[in-house]
Amino acid sequence: MLDRIYDLYDELERRRVMLSFKGDLSEELVSALLGLVERKMSVLEPDARMRKRVFNVAMECLQNLYHHNTRLRLADVEGTATNIAHGVVMIMHHDKGYSVLTGNFVADKDVHLLKDHLDRINAMAPEELRGFYQETLANGRYTSSGGGGLGIIDIARKSGQKLEYGFVPFDTESAFFSLNVNVTN
């Protein structure tokens, strides 16, 4: 394992990863990570609009990780699943902009709903997306996380690109959900 540490570092460096985290997420940690994103962006990115968009996308992605944990995370040492938010987040800088990647466990029963939501959003042109956002905002409903289902729509609007996603079966009850959000000029 020891010799892999450099490989890991080297890989992160080559891929221009400006932030990476894997583990349990607390409210404090979400704040700390956002603070880090903001500081890094203020150094790296001269365009204020791009800085804000990346911050916004990172903020919504982290909130998704924080709120939508499956309660089925990798069983801990004692072998019991806990309801602590758990996941992975990575922000990469590349020639065309930035990528915000997140991964977390979702319950099998939610996969279809989430996939349909993502496909619907990906099929929309920017103006349709804006209409969908307004319609969802106006419906007056709150979801368990408080966002009322606006999070992914907002992420798609700020990204301006199609959202890349995937599901990997994890166990009999859950899947690993990966999301890649590109924010480009």
Which residues lie near other proteins (CB under 8 A)? 27, 30-31, 34-35, 48-49, 52-53, 55-56, 59-60, 63, 66-67, 130, 133-134, 137-138, 140, 142, 145-148, 150-151, 153-154, 157-158
Minimum Å gap between C-beta 82 and other proteins is 18
Minimum Å gap between C-beta 162 and other proteins is 19
Task: Please list the residues that pair with 104 across neighbouring strands.
Answer: 87, 177
134 or 166: whose CB is closer to other proteins? 134
86 or 158: whose CB is closer to other proteins? 158
CB contact at 8 A, 151 and 136: no
Reference 18, options 49, 58, 63; nearest CA is: 58
Which amino acid is located at 154 in the chain? Answer: D
14 or 49: whose CB is closer to other proteins? 49
CB contact at 8 A, 62 and 27: no
Report the C-alpha dihedral over residues 129, 132, 134, 136, rounded to 10 degrees: -140
